Structure 1
């Protein structure tokens, strides 16, 4: 996910290993669900867009990656209420991740991260 790496870099995070566990970043772009990037465990990074429905937090989508030596392997995919996949060996999401990566860039999330960094 090149867009996520670029967003983290724009926010001054050179790599996932530099983040603390439970450290998160939220990027907001008008008209879209917020993008949340959170290190959820020693080797896990959650990337998701979320909304609230009847008091519940819904993923649209959320992908959890195992991050090892700079490689990101998707192991969990959730998109409420339609889909949930989990496989520690990895999930083949190449097509989806490529589209999502392009959409995040086109929707302005990368630019918003650069602007946020420049404003700080």
Structure 2
């Protein structure tokens, strides 16, 4: 991949990844490729100064010389997690397949959005419904 060429193509854009740890891995790889393609690495930084990227949050790398950002919104299911009362009056965790994740308002104006999830759909919690 020609990171320098890709940076020129993405100049002035906002690229957003939304998904689980699989998407985080792709986001991290792309940042490494692009950052290694710039001359002044000090002009590439995480917007909030974060250095660890394993939590439930959002992250944004700024490529200052290109007016470009590549962001990650952690959203394991892409849809909203929900609770519903069951027959016994206790709450049962479920997913609202008709509602996108709560963070969607933060990235809906992005130029490019990459959705990806997979790991959680075979998780015990999901398979038991």
Higher relative contact order (CA 8 A, sep 6+): 2
Structure (1/2) with the larger strand percentage: 1
TM-score using structure 1 length: 0.25
Larger radius of gyration: 2
